[in-house]
Amino acid sequence: MRTAACARPAQNGARSDDAPDPGGGDVHSAEASLVLVVSDDAALRRSLALLLRASGLATQDFASSTAVLKSLVATPAARRRCCLLVDHHLPGGTDGLRLLQDLAAVAVTVPVVLLADWASLELRRRAGAAGAAAVLQKPLLQDSIVQAISDALAGAG
């Protein structure tokens, strides 16, 4: 399992355009866990953020793998418990598996939960081999998302 090394957002949550998100969770708590939601679908990011915040998790969202990777690389010493919740299909010729490879290439270790439209056995195998903590298939069940993140954070701690 990978250990967390995440950045605390400058303000309560942040959208991918780096504007403050007024609905952000309590990211200033020393024990708070931060979930970085990565998807090009703004509606999915918003709904996942609402669900996770209602479950007591702080969130920060990103519209691309490039944006989240830059953020993680820029703040390696933040020492925050975090987990990435990544939509497998991302724009720009990348996907969740590629993000896992890119994270490993720059030695960023965080647990990753991958979301997929179709979570085939091959995708699950490849994601597990690349270090994903879990692969969830859409449509997503609220309890499954929260449990997968909880398990990923517990394994990283």
At residue 13, the pLDDT reads 42
Per-residue pLDDT at 30: 38
Measured CA to CA in angstroms, residue 20 lies from 7, 14, 60, 127, 129 at distances of: 15, 5, 10, 32, 35
The whole-angstrom separation of Cα 22 and Cα 139 is 27
Residues 73-88 have pLDDT tens digits of 887 655 367 899 999 9
Q: If you classify domain 39-156 with CATH, what class do you get?
A: alpha beta
Which amino acid type is present at position 91? P
What's the pLDDT tens digit per position in 28-81? 333 568 999 999 999 999 999 999 999 999 999 999 999 999 988 887 655 367
Q: Determine the average pLDDT of the residues in 122-134.
A: 95
Q: Which helix or strand (DSSP H or E) is residue 72 part of? A: helix 65-74
What global pTM score does this model have? 0.79
